Chains A and B, each alone.
Chain A
Amino acid sequence: MSQNKNELAMIKKDTVDVVAEKVKAFQENGDVHFPPSYSPQNAMKSAWLTLQGIQDKNKRPALEVCTRDSVANSLLDMVVQGLNPAKKQGYFIVYGNTLTFQRSYFGTMAVTKQVTGAKSIDAAVIYEGDEVDYEMKNSRIVNLTHKQKFGNINKENIIGAYATIVLQDGEVYQELMTIEELRKAWSKAQFWGKDQEKEKKGSTHDEFKQEMAKKSVINRACKKFLNSSNDSNLVLDHFNHTDEAAEEAQLEEEIQTNANGEIIDIEYNEPEQEQEPEQPSDQPDGDLEQAAMDFEQKEAQTTSGPNF
């Protein structure tokens, strides 16, 4: 037991101290400024406490399975963005032997407010029958008005959502997503089946559709706004790095788990048994939904090869 404690203390010294040093250097160079209410030391302490309870999917402690580099990097990503896991601004998640810090949408909002000085970030859901009007100016949505009748509110009739970021000077940035775009975003989640088109009954995205819609559109608005309105800086680098690191770790784990597994084999068959497969009876039968999907796919995929 005491040995475990010692080991933990060693890991802590190795990682937390290294990160703290780095952050200090950033601060001294003026690369990063924290709001007065944010203490990197406190955030790191609370992250370290959180980390001790984090496990991988086999219930092994994260601090045992994850590389020290990935632990240090995820802590650094968190601190540079001025986030704190105790405020639910992000989570630590283990993929294979990599620890990642993934911002929650509260975290994304916090970074956006801090970096851009935005006053408020809000989102609203659009239901069938709502009146929505807007203009496009310089490729941006302006003068968006939205009239809603109380009777329209029904989660089964959501047709879109929008988010509004209001800046110090009253300037407004808006982002709009249709239900199709929202579903496309949701479909990137791992639990979303390959050919699934809608939320599964009883899933979070089904039960809390309004909240999920707001969350997705806020996320998109903040990310686009941050990336378009600011010169590259340290916070932004780490803002984008957290997403990439998480995605790459996920991919790595997927490949580790699925690749080069089961052996499949065939033996040579005598040629005279050559079968001419019969004309299939299950040719496309004009199923409309399928056809619409195919059309979309065809549009997107057969126009040209992925020109890498």
Chain B
Amino acid sequence: MIEVKALASSSKGNCYHITDGKTPLLLEAGIKFKEIQRKLDFQTSKIKACLITHEHKDHCAGVPDMIKNGKNCYMSKGTAEAIGVEGHRVKPIKSKEPFTVGTWTILPFEVEHDVAEPLGFLLANEDGDKLLFATDTYYIRYKFKGLTHILCECNYSLDILNKNIAAGRIPKVMKKRLLRSHFSLENVKEFLKANDLQKVREIWLLHLSDNNSDERRFKDEIQALTGKAVYVP
């Protein structure tokens, strides 16, 4: 049984604690290690490793401290180079080459973001749970089988963004970048429709934009579409 806890989920920082009861992992370390410790009541010694998707600070700010504290950090070579970390705690991984951490088998896959070598992760455990983690990607290239937990970005909605631009709250140039770097509500829906959701128990919508999203509406719409429990941390 997977347990998910969001320690931070916004453009200011992303960090998610997941465990199958045996091997606790961190997905992203986009906040200071001290904050991670505080949010986990200083129970960080059990954390087996940390998986990092890409080099933006809101996803990796805590990495150097994680390494100092003896935590293995898994990331692509491109991401490690861009962050500027090395050493035996930095575990380079490649898209579509599965690896194992404790009781998890993990498959990294490439995602679509404007950085060096970004990844998403599919995690499976012995109980037959399957968790998908995908963030900072404007679409997902793949489909997945038998997912039980979906943790994916749902950054903005096109109509809210357009309204903000019309009102002058968001500069037009930002839209251009946003469209090719972050997951929109509209594209998240297409993704969910394309996948078999039979076994899905929880859907977590992550990394909502401060300006271009609407927590209540996103939750309601995804819940209505899927009939699943939807969480927006």
A283 touches B126 (CB 8 A): no
Determine the residue in chain B with the shortest Cβ distance to A261.
B141
Contacts A268-B128, A271-B100, A273-B100 given; does A301 touch B82 at CB 8 Å? yes
Interface size grouping (class) on chain B: 35 or more
Q: Which B residues touch A273, using CB under 8 A?
A: 100
**A259: contacting residue among B56, B98, B102, B191, CB under 8 A:** B191
Any chain B CB within 8 A of the CB of A136?
A: no
CB distance from A286 to the nearest CB of B (A): 12
B100 touches A274 (CB 8 A): yes
CB distance from A254 to the nearest CB of B (A): 8
B77 touches A304 (CB 8 A): no
**Sample of 18 further A-B pairs with CB below 8 A, known A260-B139, A264-B109:** A255-B190, A259-B191, A260-B195, A261-B141, A264-B107, A267-B124, A268-B126, A280-B92, A284-B81, A298-B84, A301-B55, A304-B57, A304-B58, A305-B59, A306-B11, A306-B56, A306-B182, A308-B178
Q: Which A residues touch B59, using CB under 8 A?
A: 305
Interface string of B186-205 (1 = CB under 8 A from A): 01001100110000000000
Any chain B CB within 8 A of the CB of A265?
A: yes
CB distance from A227 to the nearest CB of B (A): 10
B11 touches A308 (CB 8 A): yes
Q: Which A residues touch B141, using CB under 8 A?
A: 258-262
What are 17 A-B interface contacts by the 8 Å CB criterion? A251-B180, A258-B141, A261-B141, A263-B145, A264-B109, A265-B107, A268-B124, A271-B103, A277-B92, A277-B93, A284-B86, A294-B81, A302-B57, A304-B57, A305-B59, A308-B155, A308-B178
Q: Which A residues touch B109, using CB under 8 A?
A: 264
Q: Which B residues touch A259, using CB under 8 A?
A: 139-141, 187, 190-191, 194
Any chain A CB within 8 A of the CB of B38?
A: no
A248 touches B179 (CB 8 A): yes
Any chain B CB within 8 A of the CB of A275?
A: yes
B86 touches A283 (CB 8 A): yes
CB distance from B108 to the nearest CB of A (A): 10
B195 touches A302 (CB 8 A): no
* Interface size of A in residues (CB-CB distance below 8 Å): 37
CB distance from B119 to the nearest CB of A (A): 12
A268 touches B179 (CB 8 A): no
Any chain B CB within 8 A of the CB of A6?
A: no
CB distance from A277 to the nearest CB of B (A): 5
B143 touches A263 (CB 8 A): yes
A263 touches B144 (CB 8 A): yes
How many angstroms from the CA of A284 to the CA of B115 in the assembled complex?
Answer: 17
Determine the residue in chain B with the shortest Cβ distance to A259.
B139
Contacts A260-B140, A262-B142, A268-B128 given; does A275 touch B115 at CB 8 Å? no
Any chain B CB within 8 A of the CB of A269?
A: yes
Sort A-B residue pairs by CB-CB distance and give the 5 closest, nearest first. A305-B58, A260-B194, A259-B139, A266-B107, A305-B56
Interface string of B151-167 (1 = CB under 8 A from A): 00001100000000000
Any chain A CB within 8 A of the CB of B83?
A: yes
